[in-house]
């Protein structure tokens, strides 16, 4: 569904050295699969997603979505791609402050199916995200966690075939974060959506089918599409203060023990 081939995106600031935000990344996400890209702050995760969302163009490399290179799209085609094919949970949390929860979550549906139908259609997803009691609350009265869930509802609203999530649990408490991750993984399985989730939260990686580790814009020491969770856990382990019980057994079994997934790294 999504394939990145040797993707490069550098940022130029003033006359200085370019920042190598994404520096030759190759990876794939299949339909119905949840892939986590795990890396510390500044490792290039958000930059990579803006390129996949066709918000900025790559310097080189290819971004294939359903076989089509989205970096070659015109502006109008890119807008249509974002509206119809993509769900993008970015970190902005920017809602229309005068609008209520339903209106903000249904924005994309207003364009694709109309206002009335859109407002009706979005309600079950808002209920599922725990916002059923807030449907007519104004956006500017919402907590950061509630805003984040409105953004998630909007991203899922058009049933995109590709979903990008930038730290989707960043503003949520642990319990709500778990619920959102479970929901994202369920929705992807149900609908056959390809989900690329970027995060610096080890807990979030536990829900993924595969985990890649990003450091300084590059995938850490694994092949382009082969990093199993055990390999990611092996990378995470040395940064933990204590040994992870069951780590060796889990590595050979190809799973990350829950301690590895939830132990605080920062």
Ligand X SMILES: Nc1ncnc2c1ncn2[C@@H]1O[C@H](COP(=O)(O)OP(=O)(O)O)[C@@H](O)[C@H]1O
Which stretches of the chain bind ligand X, using CB under 6 A? 11, 13, 19, 21, 39, 41-47
Partner whose binding site includes residue 185, from Mg ion, ligand X, none (CB under 5 to 8 Å by kind): none
- Confirm or reject binding of residue 170 to Mg ion (CB under 5 A): no
Partner whose binding site includes residue 11, from ligand X, Mg ion, none (CB under 5 to 8 Å by kind): ligand X
- In this structure, are strands 194-199 and 210-215 parallel, antiparallel, or unpaired? unpaired
Q: Which of these, 229, 223, 218, lies nearest to 44 by C-alpha position?
A: 218
Report how far residue 38's alpha carbon sits from residue 237's, in angstroms, rounded to the nearest whole number. Answer: 13
Q: Tell the smallest beta-carbon distance from residue 166 to Mg ion (Å).
A: 6
Interaction pattern, residues 191-230, with Mg ion; x per rule: CB under 5 A: ----------------------------------------
Task: Pick one of 10, 28, 31, 46: the residue that binds Mg ion (CB under 5 A).
Answer: 46
Partner whose binding site includes residue 224, from Mg ion, ligand X, none (CB under 5 to 8 Å by kind): none
Q: Which of these, 214, 164, 196, lies nearest to 40 by C-alpha position?
A: 214
Report the residue number, 125 or 214, with the smaller CB distance to Mg ion.
214
Report how far residue 71's alpha carbon sits from residue 45's, in angstroms, rounded to the nearest whole number. Answer: 18
Partner whose binding site includes residue 76, from ligand X, Mg ion, none (CB under 5 to 8 Å by kind): none
Report how far residue 67's alpha carbon sits from residue 73's, in angstroms, rounded to the nearest whole number. Answer: 13
Q: Tell the smallest beta-carbon distance from residue 219 to ligand X (Å).
A: 13
Are 220 and 58 within 8 A, CB to CB?
A: no
Helix, coil or strand: residue 155: helix
CA 188 to chain centre: 12
Per CB under 5 A, residues contacting Mg ion are 46
């Amino acid at each position: 569904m999504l394939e990145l081939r040797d993707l490069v995106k550098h940022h130029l600031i003033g006359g200085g050295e370019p920042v190598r935000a994404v520096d030759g990344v190759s990876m794939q996400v299949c339909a119905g699969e949840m892939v986590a890209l795990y890396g510390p702050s500044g490792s290039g995760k958000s930059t990579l997603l803006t390129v996949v969302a066709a918000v900025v163009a790559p310097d080189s490399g290819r971004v294939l979505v359903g076989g089509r290179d989205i970096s070659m799209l015109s502006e109008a085609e890119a807008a249509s791609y974002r509206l119809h094919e993509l769900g993008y949970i970015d970190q902005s949390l920017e809602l229309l402050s005068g609008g209520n929860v339903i209106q903000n979550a249904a924005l994309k549906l207003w364009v694709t199916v109309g206002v009335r139908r859109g407002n009706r259609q979005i309600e079950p997803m808002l209920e599922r995200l725990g916002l059923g009691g807030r449907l007519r609350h104004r956006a500017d009265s919402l907590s950061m966690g509630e805003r984040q869930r409105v953004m998630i509802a909007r991203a899922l609203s058009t049933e995109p075939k590709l979903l990008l999530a930038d730290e989707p649990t960043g503003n949520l408490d642990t319990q709500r974060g778990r619920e959102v991750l479970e929901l994202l993984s369920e929705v992807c399985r149900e609908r056959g959506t390809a989900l690329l989730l970027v995060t610096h939260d080890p807990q979030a990686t536990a829900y993924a089918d595969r985990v890649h580790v990003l450091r300084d814009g590059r995938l850490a020491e694994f092949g382009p599409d082969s990093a199993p969770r055990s390999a990611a856990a092996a990378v995470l382990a040395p940064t933990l203060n204590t040994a992870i019980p069951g780590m060796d057994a889990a590595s050979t079994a190809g799973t990350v023990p829950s301690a590895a997934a939830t132990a605080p790294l920062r």
